[in-house]
Amino acid sequence: MAKQSTLKPAQPTSVEAAEKTIAKLERQRAELVAQASEADAEVQRTAYSAHALGDVDAGRRLGELREAVIRRGPALG
């Protein structure tokens, strides 16, 4: 005789709950896109200072920013 599962089947999600979840995820995505855009702008400014102006501190900061970009993952498009 097969052992029966004691897990209850998942309750269907209401449309309203799904819409709230989608709205929340869209807000989170918008925030992440804005943060990524700000970070990219800082990379551009810092790279200019490091490469064109020879700013050693900017070079160090550029290394930190590169690591942060790698941790952040692919760009959100």
Find out whether 34 and 46 touch, Cβ atoms under 8 Å. no
Among 64, 41, 42, 60, residue whose Cα is nearest residue 50: 60
User: Total structural domains in the chain?
Assistant: 1
Q: Where does the pLDDT of residue 69 fall: very low under 50, low under 70, confident under 90, or very high at 90 and above?
A: confident
In a domain, 60, yes or no: yes
Let me know if residue 7 belongs to a domain. Answer: no
Is residue 55 included in any domain, yes or no?
Answer: yes
Q: Is residue 12 part of a domain?
A: no
Q: For 11-65, what is each residue's pLDDT tens digit? A: 667 998 999 999 999 999 999 899 888 988 999 999 999 999 999 999 999 999 9
pTM over 0.85: no
Which range of residues forms the domain containing residue 39? 19-71
Give CA–CA dist 69/40, Å, rounded: 9
- Asked whether residue 2 is domain-assigned, the answer is no
DSSP 74: S
Name every residue whose Cβ is closer than 8 Å to that of residue 49 and which is 6 or more positions away in sequence.
Answer: 55, 58
CA distance 74 to 9: 36
Tell me if 33 is assigned to some domain: yes
